Structure formats: structure tokens, C-alpha cells
């Protein structure tokens, strides 16, 4: 069996920036184990699979896999999938909707910019898990939790940039992921995201993390529209807006490669 796939740099305006995602457009779902094995073989932080809804034009069903597991929400791979719908499937009618484990996710397009409508995930103050400070190598006195994503706020962008976490230790203390964030020098806020327990030591740019970050910083800074940068090695800019219980995340996408996957008909 041969499958077409596309690799797209999301939240990027040039190649080798933002967060790369693989996107596989299907006509019907593959076996779960096969999709997981494809994601492990491609070895990007996320591989998205989507299937058009035959009864509703402009509507698709989407799922996301890290190299290790399926996840309930992935922003950058949704943006990448929207780019494939636009450029490969030649969709001219926007917005479109992806139905997912996190509910319907609408994506609109204006020029080269895609805007994702995602559920907000406002964090609440919690005690930091034992060992988290040692694993991150920083203070965790300001720790919050949004669903299954921890958020640790530091005092400066420099502190966030200089972090060198112990990923083996981190995977023992955090089931999903942890954001470390601070007010930015030239952006409203900056962040980094670590999730070694699900196969991603450091994610370059993370949509799901910004569903936590946007309500947090909107409250702290007293404004709903924010300019953010994830300061990973690749880096990426995200325009964020809090819309009641939803978050709008906007960014561009750049195609890096196209190809075919040859996989067995049975796993």
C-alpha cells in the first residue's frame, strides 16, 4: 500500500523554522497500530492523519500521533493539515473544520496566514510535582496545571532560554508535558515546551501549549491579543487571542517535502 504524505513547517515563514509535522491525507482510516508505526518511522514530533467527511464538504476528521502515542490535541499539525487541504486538495472555501478528540476545530485562512480556533485550557495554581525543579534545573515556585500540561513561570526570557533540563528525570515526574515561560524582551511572552514522556524532548512550537499560555498571559498582562514566541532551537512566532473559552492561534506554514510511504497492507 502506498500513501502520499507531506512535511510542513508550521508557525514558520521559511524552511527550517517553526515545527515540522507530517500530514497523511486518507480516504478511510488505517488501523491504529499502523498509524502509530508510521508516526514512529517518520519520527517527527507529530504526524497528522485526516479523512474527509463524505457528507459535509469542508469538514474533516483528524488524529495526531507522536512517535510514542496518540494525543488528543495538536495545534501545529492541525495548521499543517490545513495547509495540505489548501495547497494539495485545492480547497477554496474557508473556513474548514477538523473534527477531533478535542471537539470541532475550525481553521480559517487569510492570505498566507492560517488561524486555528482551539479550546482554551486555563491553568490553575498547584504544588509542583516532586523532583520537577531538579529535572528542569529551575525554580518551580510559580507552578500551574492546565489539564495535563504543567506551566512554570520564571522571571525573565534569559532564564527560559538558558534551561538545560534532564529529560530522563523529567519523564519520570511529568506524564505529558511542561511549559516554562516568562515575559519576553520583544514579545508579550516566550516559552519552551518539554514532553519526553510522550516521545518529544523539546517541541519546537506547540499549539496545545499556547492554549494554556494564552489565558494565563491574557490574565497577567490584562489584554486578549498577544504576540508570542517559542524560543526552541528552531523557534516560531504565534499570534494569540483569547476569545472567551476559545483561543485563536495564527501563523504561516511552509511545505518542506512531499513523498510516498510504502507500508504493508497488514501489520
d(CA 134, CA 87): 45
Say whether 37 sits in a helix, a strand or coil.
helix
Say whether 202 sits in a helix, a strand or coil.
strand
State the catalytic residue, choosing from 13, 46, 155, 202: 46
**Residue 46 appears among annotated catalytic residues:** yes
The packing angle between helices 207-221 and 75-87, to 10°, is 120
| Surface-to-core class of residue 93, CB atoms within 10 Å of its CB (0-12 exposed, 13-18 middle, 19+ buried) | exposed
Say whether 191 sits in a helix, a strand or coil.
strand
Phi, psi of 81 (to 5 degrees): -65, -40
From 59, 55, 56, select the one nearest 82 (Cα to Cα): 59
| Surface-to-core class of residue 161, CB atoms within 10 Å of its CB (0-12 exposed, 13-18 middle, 19+ buried) | middle
Which residues are catalytic, by number?
A: 46
Amino acid at each position: 500500500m502506498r500513501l502520499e504524505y507531506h512535511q510542513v513547517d508550521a508557525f514558520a515563514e521559511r524552511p527550517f523554522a517553526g515545527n515540522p509535522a507530517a500530514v497523511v491525507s486518507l480516504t478511510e482510516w488505517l488501523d491504529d497500530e499502523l498509524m502509530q508505526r508510521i508516526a514512529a518511522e517518520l519520527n517527527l514530533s507529530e504526524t497528522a492523519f485526516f479523512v474527509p467527511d463524505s457528507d459535509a464538504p469542508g469538514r474533516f476528521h483528524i488524529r495526531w500521533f507522536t512517535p510514542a502515542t496518540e494525543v488528543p490535541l495538536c495545534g501545529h499539525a492541525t495548521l499543517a493539515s490545513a495547509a495540505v487541504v489548501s495547497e494539495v486538495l485545492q480547497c477554496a472555501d474557508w473556513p474548514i473544520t477538523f473534527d477531533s478528540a478535542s471537539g470541532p476545530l475550525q481553521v480559517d485562512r487569510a492570505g498566507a496566514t492560517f488561524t486555528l480556533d482551539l479550546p482554551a485550557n486555563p491553568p490553575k495554581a498547584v504544588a509542583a510535582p516532586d523532583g520537577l525543579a531538579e529535572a528542569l534545573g529551575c525554580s518551580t515556585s510559580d507552578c500551574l496545571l492546565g489539564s495535563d500540561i504543567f506551566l512554570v513561570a520564571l522571571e525573565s526570557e534569559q532564564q527560559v532560554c538558558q534551561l538545560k533540563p534532564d529529560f530522563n528525570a523529567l519523564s519520570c515526574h511529568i506524564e505529558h508535558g511542561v511549559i516554562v515561560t516568562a515575559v519576553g524582551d520583544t514579545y508579550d511572552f516566550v516559552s519552551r515546551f518539554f514532553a519526553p514522556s510522550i516521545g518529544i524532548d523539546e517541541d519546537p512550537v506547540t499549539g496545545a501549549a499556547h492554549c494554556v499560555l494564552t489565558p494565563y498571559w491574557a490574565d497577567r498582562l490584562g489584554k486578549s491579543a498577544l504576540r508570542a514566541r517559542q524560543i526552541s532551537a528552531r523557534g516560531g512566532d504565534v499570534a494569540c487571542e483569547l476569545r472567551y473559552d476559545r483561543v485563536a492561534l495564527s501563523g504561516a506554514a511552509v511545505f518542506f517535502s512531499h513523498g510516498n510511504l510504502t507500508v504493508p497492507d497488514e501489520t
